[in-house]
Structure 1
């Protein structure tokens, strides 16, 4: 009965035309990296306008990462990963949830710093931003493996899975 209420899955094993998670997550990646660049330049040049640009990028990245995680979970559930991809997909999922918490915490910290209206960001915050960028890079690598090595949601892999070849 429940199957009749759900839309049919297409050749990507999705109920919609193509994956949404990568589209949203690329905004998150770009905004976090750009926020880091703005904060770093602001730190060395003492330009408060760049710190403001960084703040707004972090806010939108934080909202966007939760959207990315939700679609990531939906698409991971529909992926039907084969044995070789399971551990990478699980690690990517765990790191995605963790990264959303870390990003929210860094954004919260940045909000407190913004309220204090200090002329320069503290060094520990810059160090935390470096760690955040490192997590984003690691997560991006895992996502790249899932798409470009394991081919999740690609038509040939979906067909092979449906045909019992994987």
Structure 2
């Protein structure tokens, strides 16, 4: 059965490069744009931007699940070492928590939109600020996995394969 799986490349992946960072950038951009467009809509009194914000929230919610699935596969192939194990666990846990937060915010926003698409309660803005903060923390954790620990980079994978790490 294992012979049916593709061989792993020099990044320890069955595909040419890491896919998780590519997919997750859609989540990052969409989630942060939700907060930005909500603020602009309320400050500049441009309720049309609330619609833009809502659709960005839908995109962020849908794509986070794709990012998580791809991330779980890539995390399983990463061979984390030392402190990167704990960091990867934190990144994974926060990723699932963000999926929950985005799902709840999307459902809440849908109800708000049904009642009055031209208004947004301040409580939702506060929740959006929390979302933005969680996204920033998640980005920092993900960046550390790549730039500090080098997961899925050729030199680190080579060192792991040689038993040097």
Normalising TM by the smaller chain, what interval?
over 0.9
2:25 aligned with 1:32: no
Q: Is the 8 A contact 2:48 2:118 kept in 1?
A: no
Structure 1 segments (4+ residues) deviating >6 Å: none
TM-score for both structures, normalised by structure 1: 0.97
2:4 aligned with 1:10: no
Deviation at 1:118, TM superposition (A): 5.0
Structure 2 counterparts to residues 132-147 of structure 1, below 5 A: 132-147=131-146
Once residues 37 and 111 of structure 1 are traced to their aligned partners in structure 2, the CA distance between those partners, rounded to angstroms, is 18
Structure 2 counterparts to residues 10-159 of structure 1, below 5 A: 10-117=9-116, 119-159=118-158
Once residues 146 and 99 of structure 1 are traced to their aligned partners in structure 2, the CA distance between those partners, rounded to angstroms, is 18
Once residues 93 and 139 of structure 1 are traced to their aligned partners in structure 2, the CA distance between those partners, rounded to angstroms, is 9
Question: Which structure 1 segments of 5+ residues have no match?
Answer: none
Question: Which structure 2 segments of 5+ residues have no match?
Answer: none
Once residues 42 and 143 of structure 2 are traced to their aligned partners in structure 1, the CA distance between those partners, rounded to angstroms, is 32
The alignment yields a C-alpha RMSD, in angstroms, of: 0.8
Q: Is the 8 A contact 1:25 1:65 kept in 2?
A: yes
Deviation at 1:5, TM superposition (A): 1.2
* Cα displacement string for residues 74-97 of structure 1 (whole angstroms, at most 9, x for unaligned residues): 000000011121000000000001
Higher mean alpha-carbon deviation, 125-134 vs 42-51, is at 42-51
